[in-house]
Amino acid sequence: MRLLLTVAATTSMALALRLLLLGAQSLWVDEAVTFVSSSGSLHDVIARTAANSNIPPLYYLVVHGFLHIGRSEFILRLPSVMFAVASIPLLHDVTRRWIGKTEAAYAAAFLALSPFHVWYSQDARPYSMLLFLALASLYLLEKLRSEPTRFRVILFAVTTASVFLCQTVGLAFIGFLFTYALLSDPVHRTVWMKRFAIVALFAVPGVVSLIGLPPRASAPERVFSLQDLAYTAYAFSAGYSLGPSTTELHQPDAAEFVRRALPWIVPVALLFGGLVVCGIARLAREHRAALLALSLWAVSALGFAAIGALATEHPYNVRYAILAFPPFIVVLSAGVTSFRVSVRRIAAAVVAVVFVTALSNYYRNERYFKEDHRDAVEHIRMHAEPGDMVLVTVPYVSSVFSYYDVGLPTLVYPLHPTPGVDSDSLDELLERLAVSGDRMWIYESRTFGRAPGADLIPALSARFRVDMSYEGPGVKVALVFPEEHPPTTLE
């Protein structure tokens, strides 16, 4: 009963944190892609006719069902909350089986309070669901080892295949599960091979989907470095709201933002790095089988993301390595519990302080907010005049207008074809403005690095009057007045 109450209390805390201000922030670009991909008919969602978001459609089918309830930001993010909260008892069970009850309690509490997990719990993207399915698959595998039944075999196969059907990076986790099953239960290797053959059959629809609509390149070059792994470890520790923001890390002077944040970065890195080392050392002494399993789990996820970045035109991103996060939490809990009780409580309290500080920033500090397309679009709608146009500086950002209706003709810069949206070159744009005399709203977001749109406002300023009209988290809006247009004042 005490164990049940502990898990229930931890899960309730997780639910409260994930429902808190769930619909307060605007959808960012990828969440708008979720809305587009989940809308329309069931056939549209399965066939991915609206957008190719590079993943199978399982997650979008789930969101599609929720869109019958409503289409608010809260409703779109609600599935992620549900999957995240359900992950808490699953991680507790796996940790308890592999290591012990005390470590399981800490692991569940750390996952519930983790700013990294809260971020993805409130994100209308498939990563919360991916973590849940991975943990559910591992839970069912352990159940099969102790109490095999035909129903559990089918449930295990469907759940495990769904890891891939949710996100293609799930392939790495399925590979880990297969290896773990063979190593941990060598007597029944043939049985496990048959079970994973069933998994492969259930995964066929995802393979067909990706062959029919192959993933698009999302980067001009193949990029990966050891710095990416270091940042992944830091994000696992403190989320995205302690130290440099994700937007700042994409700026040309990112190193300066990192330098300013060193008073936070260094202590956090030493704290969590030290606890992880202690956890590894303790597991090596007392739970070698668990350490091997956790290592295979983490390395498979990190390796798949790294190899994908090097072998394809899809850049490394922490979210693609998210399946390495549960092993991190388990090892962290093993590190905390490696100390005597008095020191253990201090260590856990310090970890909690880091988590709570990062969560406070996440909920309250605009520096760490998601891109505020909602307010930017509302600003344009309030001040637009007949004949105005909107120019989006990065093509895929135009997807936000499928959710937040700007109510004006929209152009996309530069010449990248976007379904349903016109495109213009800079010369054509300048000529159009000069001839038409119409005002144009420049909608700038995600102009990272050398994106062509980053130079658009300076280029227009050389010929026309350009007023910075709005600036919010991740979004800037400028209003371009042709030379012959009389000046106006925005309130």
Question: Across residues 35-51, what is the average pLDDT?
Answer: 88
pLDDT tens for each residue of 400-456? 999 999 999 888 876 444 444 444 566 676 666 666 667 889 999 988 755 556 677
C-alpha–C-alpha distance, residues 331 and 294, integer Å: 8
Question: pLDDT at position 417, please?
Answer: 40
Residues 6+ apart with CB under 8 A from 443: 376, 380, 390, 391, 392, 393, 397, 475, 477
Residue 422 confidence (pLDDT)? 46
How many Cβ atoms sit within 10 Å of the Cβ of residue 26? Answer: 25
Q: Mean pLDDT throughout 291-300? A: 98
Report whether pLDDT(176) > 70.
Answer: yes
pLDDT, mean over the chain: 91
Query: Quick one: pLDDT band at residue 225, thresholds 50, 70, 90?
Result: confident
Q: What is the pLDDT of residue 421?
A: 42
Which DSSP category does 244 fall into? S
Whole-number pLDDT of residue 425: 62
Angstrom distance (rounded) from CA 182 to CA 314 = 32
| Residue whose entry in the numeric block shows the structure tokens 């969440």 | 31
User: What per-residue confidence (pLDDT) applies to 437?
Assistant: 67
pLDDT, tens digit, 9 for 90 and up, residues 251-270: 888 999 999 999 999 999 99
pLDDT at 415: 40
pLDDT in tens, 97-138: 999 999 999 999 999 999 999 999 999 999 999 999 999 999
Give the count of beta carbons closer than 10 Å to the beta carbon of residue 186.
9
C-alpha to C-alpha distance for 188 and 6, rounded to whole angstroms: 35
168-to-33, 86, 102, 250 alpha-carbon distances in Å = 17, 22, 34, 25
